[in-house]
Structures are given as C-alpha cells and as structure tokens.
Amino acid sequence: MNGFWNSSEKVQAKSNFFPKLPQISFMPKKIYFASDFHLGIPDHDSSLIREKKLITWLEMARLDADEIYLMGDLFDFWFEYKTAIPRGYARLLGKLAEITDAGIPIHLFRGNHDMWAFDYLTQELNIQLHRNPEFREFYGKHFYLAHGDGLGPGDHGYKFIKKVFASPVNQWLFRLLHPDLGIKMALFWSRKSRKVSMENERRDEDITLKLIQQRITVHSHKILDQHPEISYLIYGHYHYPLDTRLTDNARQLVLGDWITHFTYAVFDGEQLELKTF
C-alpha cells in the first residue's frame, strides 16, 4: 500500500512538472505592437511597397503572436460609407482577415487619420477596434495603450478639430458628399497636414522630442499616478521611436512609424523590446 502511494505521488509530481516546459518553450507567447503606417501616401505605388512590407511583418509576427496591436493611422485616410469603403489595400485587408481567421486577435486603435473606422473592419475582418486608450494585462504585466493624439496638456487647436471630425452630424454631412469628391478633399487635407509635420521633423528632431516630453510624458505620469501598477505605456502618433524609463517600474515606448523607421515593439512576457524590421 505504501509503495503504491509513493509511486502515485511520483507520477503526480512528474505530471505537474512536465507540462510546464512545453508551454514555456513552444507556445506562442508574444504581443506585437506597431503604429502609423499611413497607407495611401505619398502615392499608390510607394504605398504598395510599404503595404507589402507590412504584410511580410504580419506573416513573421503571426508565427509566435498571441495578439497583434496596430496602434493607429493604419491608413492615411479611411472613411466608411454605408455601402462603400475607400479603394485599395486589398492585400492587407486579406492578410488581416487570414490572421484573425487563424485565431490570432488583431487590434486596431483609431488614430487621427483613421478615426472614421466604424464597423466594416470589425464585421469583415474581425478586427477589434479601439476608440480610446486601453488598460491591458499581458502575462502578469500591466500596460497602457493609446494612439497618442490629443493626449497631454496643450494642443487645443487639434483637440478642437478632433471634436469637429468626431461629431456624428459632421460625419453625416461628409457622407452626403460623393466619395470621389469627399475622399479627394480629405486626402488633400491629410497630405497637407502630413507635409507640415514632416517638414517640422526635418527642420528639427528636437521639436518632436520636446512635444513627446511636453504632452505624452506628462500624460504618462498622470496615468501612473492613478495606476502605479502599470509597467509599460505604449503610444504611436509621433513617428519617432523612443524608449524612456519613467519610474523604477515604468517605461514609455513611442513606436515610431512605417514611413521612415519601420519599428515595432514585442513583449514576450519578460522583455519589451523596440526593434526595427
């Protein structure tokens, strides 16, 4: 009897021990983050090159991804009419659908350029769409995720414009325009604002760093005051990859973009790394 119990205990101990090994070494266990692809600019052909590069990255990420987070401004301009969407991006849309069909969740934060994503991407591609910053927990670590536009102090002009664009009445009015006209106007506007900010970047990298510090870092500290459990705060929007330690426990990552930097972040449960693709 004694012998029986002893051997059973051994088996028990073994079966508790062994299943953990394959989970650590073979199970997909990574969360991927990337932002600001601005597909559509500067023209169809150069955008297509970036779109294909993004697809190659998605194919790599899906091999060991638990979830993929696209942190905003996937498209330089996106608007959903009741019965139509902007033309283009066929390869990307297909790839996103293929990955979510395979059971890997894809999240998209609405950026300032694709704030008019409504239910098409959710319905057709099963993408999880986020309008607001999100608090998440991955493998026991706490994250704060946001596109980053309109966060932090100042920037009142933009915050006002965002309200105008977010108004259902204005969206309804815009929807009344013929898409050929509406999208043409929107692209003109978006290219103009992009050109201005690209010129700013070229003129002085310090301006971007200063803006991140004045807006995003201030915002992050405010979030950390209320949520000291957070270890990582991840943003897009500024098109400048930047990894900053804010406190003993917390790091802030600005993801960069897929126009000039081709950067992304990956979290494997232990390390959060900012990488270049």
Q: Record the tokens describing residue 52, joined without a space.
A: 């294909």
- Sequence-distant (6+) residues with CB within 8 A of 19 are none
Q: Which is nearer to Mn ion, 51 or 73 (CB)?
A: 73
Q: How far is the CB of 38 from Mn ion (least distance, A)?
A: 8
Q: Nearer Cβ to Mn ion, position 130 or 237? A: 237
Candidates 74-82, 224-232, 234-242, 249-257: pick the segment binding Mn ion (CB under 5 A).
234-242
Which is nearer to Mn ion, 112 or 190 (by Cβ)?
A: 112
- Nearest residue (beta carbon) to Mn ion: 237
237 lies in the site for Mn ion, by CB under 5 A: yes
CB of 202 to Mn ion, least distance (A): 18
Phi, psi of 81 (to 5 degrees): -85, 170
Rounded Cα distance, 14 and 18, in Å:
6
Q: Using the rule CB under 5 A, which residue among 41, 58, 67, 112 binds Mn ion?
A: 112
For the bound state, the minimum distance from the C-beta of residue 111 to Mn ion, rounded and expressed in Å, comes to 4
What track of x and - describes contact with Mn ion for positions 61 through 100 (by CB under 5 A)?
------------x---------------------------
DSSP class per residue in 120-168 = HHHHHH-PEEESS-EEEEETTEEEEEE--TT-SS--HHHHHHHHHHH-H
Asked if residue 117 lies in contact with residue 108, where contact means CB atoms within 8 angstroms, the answer is: yes
CA 54 to chain centre: 13
Question: In this chain, which stretch among 103-111, 116-124, 213-221, 263-271 interacts with Mn ion, using CB under 5 A?
Answer: 103-111
* Shortest CB 178 distance to Mn ion, Å: 27
The C-alpha atoms of residue 199 and residue 205 are separated, in whole angstroms, by 10
Q: Is 111 in the site for Mn ion (CB under 5 A)?
A: yes
Question: Residue 48 corresponds to which tokens in the numbers above?
Answer: 């297509």
The residue ranges that bind Mn ion (CB under 5 A) are 73, 111-112, 237
